[in-house]
Chain A
């Protein structure tokens, strides 16, 4: 029971991070119907910026942890969002209205480019960081086994919840969210009624990249090691999460992320850790067979 509870906590933490990334996939897919293959790399860049920012702050001698955390988070969000904006501007915007596979192939090229860009600039070796936040609550004792909820896990979950709430408000209550929903339904009609479609799509990429940056910061704090290749697998799993939850649906992305995180944690705990990625992808295939529109998605009818 105690072991189960601990895995539940670990899985939820992991799932919160996947969920944050999955929102970026699901929003972009909802609006322009493309898989932003480079989104995993945006997350990786966010993680790198987080570690660099911590290193620079440490170099400047800023020691207050809450202060440093806030600065790092803001810097990572702003700088990563700039990457998201640039990627959209260079690789996707010129291809709008092109044939269907063109943006996806461009995105794959972008993803390869960004990986090698970071590898060339920062080197191929793993970068490590001292843990910034340590300690936690002991929730339960079972013999010698302790169930702990670390402060960091608590922080990751609460930041995710706050961001989710904020995002839902943005989508449902603000002019930007209205414009996004309009573009999702019909871009031409939205443009006719005075919505700047290009700007809305750009902002969607910026928001998605911002969330990926938060995920990158959280994961860097949680694991303490990063390299230039972390974006590939995490991106793939986050996309799986978005599909699982129903692509185009925000709560679905979060739900899918949590489920992928839980599946991975439990599979690694009770079965074979080497095959935990296989388990996550198998879930994707099963979902696509039995419920192609995902858990919370609506089936889309294709019209001529």
Chain B
């Protein structure tokens, strides 16, 4: 449909208004640059303002024109994403299974090098964190802005247990999860009686508190230096070093193959893959248990669930604690993968990234988390040149996706329980 003259002039009016606002906004911050030191002069940048105003004018004009010429919503086809998802839904299980097989085979492929395997395990950490947070945000509907605090608790408790009590990775992994869950319960207990937004802010404050304590309690945590030389995990007692200590057997000696540094990376990759799949299977199965159903019921309508006799505090607390536990596991893995930890790995931005993975993926959607983690972790790694713009685009994307698809990218969510059955089976 060709744009009409009236819609063009309306779009021009809109665009001029937007450009005027952009002028006001850009004038102080883009037009003038403050000196950072005494020697530097004040710099004026008129062209930056002109560029910003022009960009806003053109952009707003095109958007307004697009909206005015678009056919009314009712006749429009469903968005591309929904159509693609609809077509994929019957094959969901197969696609997921194929994906898992592909991920499992990745390190064995001839083209997989060290960097790729390392990146793969980084992505898997975020997938696992995303799935863990999905239990809290997606299933139980509790907004947790301090998820990284439990990640930090897991990482530090693994490190301290390994260093001071000489426990190996497999002994301290469950303890790290338990500590994180304990923190989750302790924090959740007072706050979960309140509305969701309070929980968001308190968890955010708690995340900051943990970080401040980690920085200042130098005797225990090494302050902002952190702790280094964290022991690496072993495979049934087989270590991954070139020259194992006396009485230990190394992986390459046991199997009689030459030593290669990549073995450890591959082992770490499978370790986090197993942990992530554990999280996935757990959250898929728990949806069918009474407690999982209670989470979803509470998310949809708290008053109705309360009327049906659910105790909201206990139900929410279980979700919060279990979510924290998986963050603790992931934290322990993170510590052992890095070999050193410090508080700067556990800032609010990490929480925001994990939350963004869950939200952008479509809350409650397991596959969506994987896609979002791939995009959010891989893109910045691949586009190092854009490092300065990375977080700017990240924030803008969060806003844009909320405005465009408030339910997330892959928001085609199947209810876990339904009355009756589409195929006509027994409920």
B132 to chain A, nearest CB (A): 18
Query: Judging by beta carbons under 8 Å apart, are B406 and A239 in contact?
Result: no
Q: Is B403 an interface residue (CB 8 A)?
A: yes
Smallest CB-CB separation from A109: which chain B residue? B398
Interface SS, A side: helix
Q: Is A148 an interface residue (CB 8 A)?
A: no
Determine the distance from Cα of A101 to Cα of B356 in the docked complex, in whole angstroms. 12
Determine the distance from Cα of A255 to Cα of B196 in the docked complex, in whole angstroms. 24
Query: Judging by beta carbons under 8 Å apart, are B194 and A79 in contact?
Result: no
Query: Judging by beta carbons under 8 Å apart, are A55 and B209 in contact?
Result: no
Q: Is A289 an interface residue (CB 8 A)?
A: yes
Q: Is B204 an interface residue (CB 8 A)?
A: yes
Determine the distance from Cα of A45 to Cα of B30 in the docked complex, in whole angstroms. 12
**A31-63 at interface with B (beta carbon < 8 Å):** 33-35, 45, 48-49, 51-53, 55-56, 59
Q: Which interface residue of A33, A49, A79, A281 has the most chain B CB atoms within 10 A?
A: A281
In the complex, which of the residues A116, A236, A284 contacts B391, with contact meaning CB atoms closer than 8 Å?
A116
Q: Is A199 an interface residue (CB 8 A)?
A: no
Given contact pairs A82-B21, A275-B212, A34 touches B197 in the complex (Cβ within 8 A): yes
Query: Judging by beta carbons under 8 Å apart, are A79 and B24 in contact?
Result: yes
**A87-126 at interface with B (beta carbon < 8 Å):** 90-91, 94-95, 98-106, 108-118, 120-123, 125-126
Query: Judging by beta carbons under 8 Å apart, are A49 and B348 in contact?
Result: no
Determine the distance from Cα of A114 to Cα of B213 in the docked complex, in whole angstroms. 28
Q: Is B201 an interface residue (CB 8 A)?
A: yes
B63 to chain A, nearest CB (A): 12
Q: Is B28 an interface residue (CB 8 A)?
A: yes
Given contact pairs A123-B33, A125-B36, A91 touches B399 in the complex (Cβ within 8 A): yes
In the complex, which of the residues B24, B145, B206, B216 contacts A275, with contact meaning CB atoms closer than 8 Å?
B216
Interface size range on B against A: 35 or more
Q: Is A188 an interface residue (CB 8 A)?
A: no
Given contact pairs A98-B406, A104-B200, A109 touches B397 in the complex (Cβ within 8 A): yes
Which residues from chain A contact B216 at a C-beta distance below 8 Å? 272, 274-275
Which residues from chain B contact A55 at a C-beta distance below 8 Å? 32, 34-35, 42
Query: Judging by beta carbons under 8 Å apart, are B397 and A118 in contact?
Result: no
Smallest CB-CB separation from A102: which chain B residue? B406
Q: Which interface residue of B25, B213, B303, B398 has the most chain A CB atoms within 10 A?
A: B398
Which residues from chain B contact A86 at a C-beta distance below 8 Å? 21, 25
Given contact pairs A79-B24, A116-B392, A109 touches B402 in the complex (Cβ within 8 A): yes
Which residues from chain B contact A108 at a C-beta distance below 8 Å? 145, 352, 355, 398
**A residues near B, CB below 8 A?**
33-35, 45, 48-49, 51-53, 55-56, 59, 75, 79, 82-83, 85-86, 90-91, 94-95, 98-106, 108-118, 120-123, 125-127, 232-233, 236, 239-240, 243, 272, 274-275, 277-278, 281-282, 284-285, 288-289, 292, 302, 304
Q: A121-B33, A122-B29 are in contact. List 14 more A-B contacts (CB 8 A).
A: A35-B200, A55-B42, A95-B402, A98-B402, A108-B145, A122-B34, A127-B34, A240-B201, A274-B216, A275-B213, A284-B205, A288-B202, A292-B198, A302-B303
Q: Which A-B residue pairs are the 4 nearest by beta carbons?
A: A109-B398, A113-B395, A112-B395, A281-B205
> 28 pairs across A/B with beta carbons < 8 Å?
A48-B34, A49-B28, A55-B42, A56-B42, A75-B28, A82-B24, A86-B21, A98-B402, A100-B196, A106-B399, A112-B395, A113-B392, A113-B399, A117-B29, A121-B33, A122-B33, A123-B36, A126-B36, A239-B201, A278-B212, A281-B208, A284-B202, A285-B190, A288-B190, A288-B198, A289-B191, A292-B193, A292-B194
